[in-house]
Amino acid sequence: MNVLANAWEYLVDPASWSGGGGMLALLLEQLLLTVTALALAAAVGLPVALALGHLGRGGFLAVNISNIGRAVPTFALLALLVTADWPGTASFGPYGRAGLATLLALMLFALPPLVTGAYVAVREVPEEVREAARGMGMTGLQVFVRAELPLALPLVLSGVRLALVQVWATATIAALVAGPGLGRVITDGFAANDYGQGIAGAVVVAAVALTLELLAAGAQRLAAQRLSDPAPRVDAHAG
C-alpha cells in the first residue's frame, strides 16, 4: 500500500510533470515516436500489402516475412541498432537520444500487423463481388478502389489500430538503452528503488494505451463509415 501511495504522490506532484525530463515531455516524446513509426510503417507496408492482396500474388511470402518479423524481439533489434556505428545512440531531433534507432525498430515492429491485416482484408473480399465489378466494365484499378477497398477497409483499419497500441506500449523499452520516452520514468524509478515512481510511469503508459485504443476504435468506425458510404454498391447477381 505504501508503494501505491508513493505512486499516487508522484503522479499528483507537479514537479514530476515539469521540465525537459518530466513525464509530460517524455509522454509527448513517446507519442511522437509512436505516430512517426506507425506512419512510416503504413507508408511502406500498406501499399505493398494492398497491391498484393488485389493481385492475389506474393501474399504468402509477404505475410510469412512479416510473421518472422514478429518473432524477432524488438529489444534485440534495438540493441543491435544502438551498438552499430549507424544509427547508434546519437540524438535525433525531437526524438531524443537514440531516437533514430528507436524509430527504426518501432517501424519494423509495426509492419507485421499492418501487412497481414491489409493483405488478408483484400483477399477476403468475396470473389463474386470482383466478378460483378468486372462485369460492369470496371478496370482493375476501379475494382480495387470502388469494390475491394471499401469492403476491406474495416479490417485494414483494425490492423492499424492494433499496430498503434502495440507500438506505443513497446516504445517504453527504449529506456533500456537510455533512449527516449516514458520508459525512463519506470527504469529510473526501479533503478533507484523508488518503486512508486516506477509504478507511476507504468500507470501513465497503461492509461495512454487505453486512451489510444478508444480513440483509434472511434476513428476506425468513423473512417469506415465515411469511406464506405460513397462507394457504389456492386450487385453480386448483376449481369
With contact defined as beta carbons under 8 Å apart, do 119 and 62 qualify? Answer: yes
CA–CA dist 81, 174 (Å, integer): 11
Per DSSP, the three-state class of 36 is helix
Domains of the chain, with CATH numbers? 2-13+23-228 (1.10.3720.10)
Q: How many Cα atoms occupy the beta-carbon half-sphere of 120 within 13 Å?
A: 15
pLDDT tens string for the chain (239 positions)? Answer: 689 999 999 999 999 999 888 999 999 999 999 999 999 999 999 999 999 999 888 777 777 777 777 777 888 899 999 999 999 998 999 998 899 999 999 999 999 999 999 999 999 999 999 999 989 989 989 999 989 998 898 889 999 999 999 999 999 999 988 888 999 999 999 999 999 999 999 999 999 999 999 999 998 888 777 765 644 444 444 44
CA distance 71 to 109: 10
Task: Identify whether the C-beta of residue 28 lies closer than 8 Å to the C-beta of residue 180.
Answer: no
Cβ–Cβ under 8 Å, residues 85 and 57: no
